[in-house]
Amino acid sequence: MKYASDHPSALAQLGNRQSFQSGCLILKEGEAGGALYLLQSGEVRSYSQSPSGKVLIHNRIQAGEFFGEMALDGGLRSASVQALTNCECVLVEQAQVWNYMREQPEFARQLLEAIILRARLATEAAKNMALSDVYERLCQVLNNAFERNADHCNLTQLQIAHHIGASREMVSKLLKDLVTGGYVQTLQRGQIQRLKKIPLRW
């Protein structure tokens, strides 16, 4: 969520600027928290990973947004965050965030609204994981990408697999079926183009 105000700039003045290279692990799930990160440039992803190496992506975060808010209570990090590009963040310590919210109630309201929105998205994702099959989850990810990028999806098969909690092999099989059915076609560098509306049931 991006703020339609000057709060990010004001809050950033209270923090420490840090740079991360693409692929760098910024936060690790299970570690002690206590700070809010304001993403100034680049893109990061929030995800969880099982001991066996299976990855589930929670969110992709763009410049102008924040992450790390779930540990502002001093608890453990609920997810890992990795830089997808070279990026720059401002780390604002817990005490500074609380003081700023006391001085700026409007920011506190905006932060609460953003946390509620993320909680709703997480609930929806958990519901889809529990109640939808792999094909339905694939359709949702593809259709969301198509709506944002004019009928094109730039996610790799592995990235899609991480989004829907399935194996890359399963994603590959389902995409081949959609290609055979004339619903999508694969372009250079793995890009997927929608040719016609994808059926919700297969």
Q: Which two tokens stand for residue 181?
A: 């059915």
Q: How much is the pLDDT for 4?
A: 43
Cβ atoms 165, 136 nearer than 8 A: no
pLDDT band at residue 20, thresholds of 50, 70 and 90? very high
pLDDT band at residue 5, thresholds of 50, 70 and 90? low
Share of the chain above pLDDT 70, in %: 95
Cβ atoms 133, 139 nearer than 8 A: no
Residue 138: closest CA among 160, 107, 159: 160
* pTM of the complete model: 0.67
Residue 165's φ and ψ, nearest 5 degrees, are 70, 40
3 state SS of 153: strand
pLDDT surpassing 60 at residue 66: yes
Q: How much is the pLDDT for 119?
A: 84
**DSSP letters for 7-19:** HHHHHHTTSEEEE
CA atoms within 13 A on the CB side of 112: 8
Question: Considering just the CA atoms, what is the radius of gyration of the chain in Å?
Answer: 19
CB atoms within 10 A of CB 62: 13
pLDDT band at residue 9, thresholds of 50, 70 and 90? confident
Rounded to the nearest integer, the mean pLDDT of the chain is 87
List of domains in the chain: 7-130 (2.60.120.10), 133-194 (1.10.10.10)
Give mean pLDDT, residues 26-45.
93
Q: How much is the pLDDT for 183?
A: 94
- Distance, C-alpha 171 to centroid of its chain: 19
Per-residue pLDDT tens digits for 94-132: 999 999 989 888 888 888 888 888 888 778 777 766 657
Residue 58: closest CA among 82, 37, 38, 32: 82
Q: Which two tokens stand for residue 57?
A: 């992506």
Residue 163: closest CA among 137, 124, 185, 144: 137
pLDDT surpassing 90 at residue 17: yes
Cβ atoms 84, 44 nearer than 8 A: yes
